[in-house]
Amino acid sequence: MNIIKVHPQGFCKGVINAILKTNEAITNAKRPIYMLGDIVHNKNIAKTYIDNGIIIINSLDEIKSKEGSIIITAHGISQYKYNLISSTGLDIIDTTCESVKQIQSLIRQKIIEGYSVVYYGKKNHAECLGISEDYQNEGKFIVVEGEDDIEKLNISNPKLFFTNQTTMSYFETLKIIDKLKQKYPNIITKEDICNATKNRQLALIEQAKDADLIVVVGDKTSNNSLSLVDISKTIINKPCVLIENINDIKEALKEINKQRYENIAITSGASTPRVIVNNIEKALLDENHIIDIKKDEYIKIKR
């Protein structure tokens, strides 16, 4: 079996920033330390922080103390929610990715200028909610999840602007832009897939073209990992498996041995710890390899 290790891999800058700030908070922040959602979409990282005493909450109603700290995750939050957090009196540790902040700022500025904003993303994804919660029922911020949603649009505002969630498929985003321009020729568009996501997608197409099978290592809730799976199947047109944990690798090995795949490309999402990828690569080469990762290795950053 030949392993084609697709580069780049490892954490992106936004994830590194979020983990470094959270690691510092474990040592220095006032306790209790709350975290609104998962710092990044990776269950191994989330569990490590829980084991280190961080309380992950999904709603501000779960806050039980007027003292302590709260971590805003890399995906960002709405201004509405930020104001609510400020009123709690908790110290705020903001780990929002800079790319997300820039898009939030751009969208808000465009809406102030009178534009209606069409946004390509996942409606229930934290990054999308970080904008949509500020403009509910106002018709100023319209989320589309696919080309079918464009057919249903009926926007009368001549001032139209488009942008997107940072972790979407670059290629699907281009299709969405083309479809929107057909319907609204005067729309101003700005493709905003973050560099880490785009570079991984382009690298996968270039480096995995000779693979028999593509393995994506990532969390099942990670949109950039799911985009890699989609690109593998639709653009590269190769079979693909998403591996998150040791149980997944066992199932994948059964299929690999059954199909006798010889050339396997391995890539990973931007929030996947490199230690997981390295261990899964070893398990692919040696099915007797035992994956035994110490929990703090998931949040260890090599500068």
Do 200 and 292 share a domain, yes or no? yes
Nearest CA-CA partner of 22 in 68, 87, 72, 91: 72
Distances (CA, A) of 56 to 3, 52, 115, 156: 37, 11, 36, 42
| End residue of a domain, out of 56, 81, 97 | 97
| Radius of gyration, CA atoms only, the chain | 21
Do 58 and 123 share a domain, yes or no? no
Alpha helices in the chain (DSSP H): 13-28, 43-51, 79-86, 98-112, 126-132, 147-151, 170-183, 195-207, 223-234, 246-259, 274-285
Nearest CA-CA partner of 163 in 149, 147, 142, 148: 142
Residues with Cβ < 8 Å from 210, sequence gap 6 or more?
4, 263
For the residues 280-301, what does the mean pLDDT come to? 88
Q: Which one is catalytic: 24, 62, 67, 127?
A: 127
Do 199 and 284 share a domain, yes or no? yes
CATH code at 61? Answer: 3.40.50.11270
- Does residue 10 sit in helix, strand or coil? coil
Residues with Cβ < 8 Å from 144, sequence gap 6 or more?
118, 119, 120, 150, 153, 176
Q: Domain count for the chain, please give it.
A: 3
Residue 247's pLDDT is what? 76
The DSSP result for 71-108, as a single string, is: EEPTT---HHHHHHHHTTTPEEEE---HHHHHHHHHHH
Do 129 and 185 share a domain, yes or no? yes
Checking if the pLDDT of 262 tops 60, the result is yes
| End residue of a domain, out of 189, 222, 253 | 189
- Does residue 243 sit in helix, strand or coil? strand
126, with CB counted inside 10 A (0-12, 13-18, 19+), is buried
Q: CA torsion sign, 138 to 41 to 193 to 180?
A: negative
Structural domain boundaries, residue 170 = 99-189
Residue 77's pLDDT is what? 97
The mean pLDDT value of the chain amounts to: 94
Condensed to tens digits (0 to 9), the pLDDT of residues 10-55 reads: 999 999 999 999 999 999 999 999 999 999 999 999 999 999 999 9
| End residue of a domain, out of 97, 115, 142 | 97
Q: Which residue has the tokens 């493709």?
A: 191
Residue 138's pLDDT is what? 80
Condensed to tens digits (0 to 9), the pLDDT of residues 150-204 reads: 999 999 999 999 999 999 999 999 999 999 999 999 999 999 999 999 999 999 9
Do 67 and 106 share a domain, yes or no? no
Residues with Cβ < 8 Å from 201, sequence gap 6 or more?
169, 170, 171, 193, 227, 228, 231
Checking if the pLDDT of 134 tops 70, the result is yes
Distance CA(154)–CA(142), nearest Å, equals 11
Whether 62 is a known active-site residue: answer no
Condensed to tens digits (0 to 9), the pLDDT of residues 75-129 reads: 999 999 999 999 999 999 999 999 999 999 999 999 999 999 999 999 999 999 9
Do 89 and 130 share a domain, yes or no? no
> Model-level pTM?
0.92
Beta bridge partners of 264: 3, 213
CATH code at 289? Answer: 3.40.1010.20
Do 199 and 282 share a domain, yes or no? yes
Distances (CA, A) of 27 to 22, 23, 52, 91, 94: 9, 7, 10, 14, 16
